[in-house]
Amino acid sequence: MKTKVFITGALMMILTINGMAQENNKRWGFEFGSGASFALSQPDETRLNTGFGFEGIFHYRFLPHTGVYAGWGWNRFGSDESFAGDDVCFEETGYVLGIEFKHPVNNSALAYYLRAGGLYNHIEIENAEGEIIEDSGHGMGFQLATGIDIPLGNNWSLTPGVKYNNLSREVETEGVRRDMDYNYISARIGFLKRF
């Protein structure tokens, strides 16, 4: 009896995984991801606290394992003390456009992905009341990301991963121009819907 249950369970699992692999034939997708961010630099000697952000991106796969992605993101770091005052926030918002390589792991439905993209973002500095003190204006940066794609069924996937954002901008506070090297790593959990 145990053998029949085991074989039946194994067959159902194989059929389910093969069925989920067929869902990857969809070319379009939308992904929403969110998570914690950790600063790797100190913009003009400002210590940034652990941050939080989210990103929404559209995918289009034009080759079996290669596609492009584009979207918009927001990330926020607080700072207890900075050149712009005490209890301020540094918010990065803007656009991303890049290329993605996604490949199955051992011919299974599970896949890993690698992404490289350009950013067109800006940094706003806000005081404790939420008023914008300074805005760097939009400029170019880059993003690198990696993670795994775990099929959930019905063209949905869970997409945990790590991304690195790099953006260098200038802000002017009290007549002084300051270089803002804004580099951070984010641990993200996302959901992808293929269509």
Q: What is the pLDDT of residue 19?
A: 41
pLDDT of residue 11: 45
- How does residue 8 score in pLDDT terms, banded at 50, 70 and 90? low
Give CB contacts under 8 A, 24+ apart, made by 16-20. 16/153, 17/108, 17/109, 18/109, 20/109, 20/151, 20/153
Cα distance from N-terminal residue to C-terminal residue, the chain: 42
The DSSP bridge pattern shows strands 111-126 and 85-104 to be: antiparallel
Q: Where does the pLDDT of residue 44 fall: very low under 50, low under 70, confident under 90, or very high at 90 and above?
A: confident
For the beta carbon of residue 175, count every other beta carbon within 10 angstroms.
5
Residue 116 φ/ψ, nearest 5 degrees? -140, 130
The confidence band for 9, taking pLDDT boundaries of 50, 70 and 90, is: low
Using 50, 70 and 90 to split pLDDT, how confident is the model at 188?
A: very high
pLDDT at 30: 98
HSE of 184, CA atoms in CB hemisphere, 13 A = 26
The helix (run of H) or strand (run of E) holding residue 1 is none
Percent above pLDDT 90 for the chain: 62
Compute the distance between CA of residue 184 and CA of residue 123 in angstroms, rounded to an integer. 13
Residue for token pair 């996937």: 157
The more confident residue out of 125 and 149 is 149
Kind of pairing, strands 51-61 and 66-82?
antiparallel
Query: For position 41, what pLDDT does the model report?
Result: 86
Question: Would residue 3 be called left, alpha or beta, if left means φ above 0 and alpha means ψ between -120 and 50 degrees?
Answer: alpha
Domains and CATH numbers, the chain: 2-194 (2.40.160.20)
Report the predicted TM-score, pTM, of the whole model to 2 decimal places. Answer: 0.81
Q: How confident is the model at residue 40 (pLDDT cuts 50, 70, 90)?
A: very high
Please report which helix (H) or strand (E) contains residue 113, including its range: strand 111-126
pLDDT at res. 128: 85
Residue pLDDT, tens place only, 82-106? 776 778 899 999 999 999 999 999 9
Q: What share of the chain is helix, strand, coil (3-state, %, to 5)?
A: 15, 65, 20
Contacts of residue 53, Cβ cutoff 8 Å, sequence gap at least 6: 34, 35, 37, 73, 74, 75, 76, 92, 186
